[in-house]
Amino acid sequence: MTGEHRQTLPRKPIACALPTREARTRLAAWRGFDADYLLETEDRGTEYVALYARVRDSELRLGRLVDQESVCCSFATWSIERTAHQLRLVVTGTPDALAALSIR
pTM of the model: 0.85
Residue 57: per-residue pLDDT = 98
What residues are paired with 30 via a beta bridge?
Answer: none
Spatial distance between the Cα atoms of 79 and 43, rounded to a whole number of angstroms: 15
The mean predicted confidence, pLDDT, of the chain is 87
Domains, the chain? 38-100 (3.30.70)
Tens of pLDDT, residue by residue over 47-90, are 999 999 999 999 999 999 999 999 988 889 999 999 999 999 99
SS3 at position 26:
helix
Long-range contacts of 44-47 (CB under 8 A, 24+ apart): 45/95, 46/92, 46/93, 46/94, 46/95, 46/98, 47/90, 47/91, 47/92
